[in-house]
């Protein structure tokens, strides 16, 4: 993982906070070079390994906040990391840097699509792109699922969410609230399952030190 010695990454480094420009440029580079939903890996390599602005433990802590809240991991992580380094201004700088390249790319794509999207060759290519995107997204979630899903309950909640949307057509908000509430209740504090989950989490954190 990190090529730093464990002690160097675990101790919150005493560091000069980077300048706002430095924050913006670093996130701009990540925003321009990360592809296919793998932004988190790029962020870790830049912020923890190369720049050492965050320790591994801090990075995981920010990840766990990002995962619990709505919003994309890429932008949530930019906001949280930017705030740690330069306060509110740092958050804005990190977020702008992260979003700017993709924004320009997609705005130009949208304009081109409006002009040329109905040409036969373009439509054929876009059908290929869509099929490829299904394969890519499917594979990404397969990998995430393999790492995080454990046991009958998790499998049940996944199935319930899929059936709620694709079979019963309940819509995303209703499914999210209903299945989410039951799932959180199943992991409510002071149950064996929650205690076990907490233990696992702490083991995971300490394995990184």
Partner 1 sequence: MDQLPALAKVFSYLSLLTIGGGMAAFPELKTLVVAVHHWLTDAQLIHIYSVGQMAPGPNMMMVAAVGVGVAGIPGAFVATLAFFVPTGLLTFGVGRLWNRLANWPWRTSIQKGLAPVAIGLAVAGTLTLAHGAITNWITIAIGVVIFAATLRTKINPALLILGGAVVGGIALR
Residues 10/55, Cβ–Cβ less than 8 Å: yes
Which of 43, 71, 69, 68 shows the shortest CA–CA distance to 58?
43
CA 63 → CA 56, 80, 110, 114, 142, distances in Å?
A: 10, 9, 31, 37, 19
* Segment 109 to 148, residues that bind partner 1, using CB under 8 A: 109-111, 113-114, 117, 120-121, 123-145, 148
Interaction between residue 153 and partner 1 (CB under 8 A) = yes
Q: Which two tokens stand for residue 97?
A: 């840097």
Let me know: does 13 contact 55? Beta carbons within 8 Å.
yes
Residue 12 found at the interface with partner 1 (CB under 8 A): no
Told to check if 197 binds partner 1 by CB under 8 A, we report: yes
Binding mask 78-97 for partner 1 (x = CB under 8 A): -xx--x----x--x---x--
List, in order, residues 6 or more apart from 157 with CB less than 8 Å away. 179, 182, 183, 186
Q: Is 189 in the site for partner 1 (CB under 8 A)?
A: yes
Among 10, 183, 205, 208, binds partner 1 (CB under 8 A): 183
CB of 69 to partner 1, least distance (A): 5
41 lies in the site for partner 1, by CB under 8 A: no
In this chain, which of 3, 14, 16, 190 binds partner 1, going by CB under 8 A? 190
Taking CA atoms, 146 is separated from 74, 95, 150, 155, 162, in Å, by 21, 30, 8, 11, 17
* Rounded CA Rg of the chain: 20
Q: Which one of 61, 89, 205, 208 is in contact with partner 1 (CB under 8 A)?
A: 61
In whole angstroms, give the CA distance from residue 46 to residue 27. Answer: 9
For partner 1, give the closer residue by CB, 17 or 113. Answer: 113
Residue 44 CB, shortest distance to partner 1, in Å, is 16
If binding is defined by CB under 8 A, does position 1 make contact with partner 1? no
33 binds partner 1, rule: CB under 8 A? yes
57 binds partner 1 (CB under 8 A): no
């Amino acid at each position: 993982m990190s090529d730093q010695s464990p002690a160097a990454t675990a101790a919150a480094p005493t560091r000069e906070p980077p300048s706002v420009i430095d924050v913006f440029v670093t996130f701009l580079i990540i925003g321009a070079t990360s592809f296919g939903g793998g932004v988190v890996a790029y962020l870790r390599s830049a912020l923890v390994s190369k720049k050492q602005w965050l320790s591994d433990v801090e990075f995981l802590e920010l990840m766990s906040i990002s995962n619990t809240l709505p919003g994309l991991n890429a932008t949530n992580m930019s906001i949280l990391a930017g705030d740690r380094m330069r306060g509110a201004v740092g958050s804005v700088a990190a977020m702008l840097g992260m979003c700017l390249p993709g924004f320009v790319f997609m705005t130009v794509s949208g304009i081109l699509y409006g002009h040329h999207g109905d040409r036969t060759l373009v439509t054929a290519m876009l059908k290929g792109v869509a099929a490829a995107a299904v394969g890519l997204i499917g594979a990404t979630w397969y990998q995430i699922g393999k790492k995080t899903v454990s046991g009958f309950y998790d499998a049940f909640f996944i199935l319930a969410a899929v059936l709620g949307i694709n079979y019963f057509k309940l819509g995303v908000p209703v499914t999210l609230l209903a299945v989410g509430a039951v799932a959180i209740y199943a992991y409510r504090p002071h149950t064996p399952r929650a205690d076990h989950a907490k233990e696992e989490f702490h083991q995971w954190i300490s394995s990184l030190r």
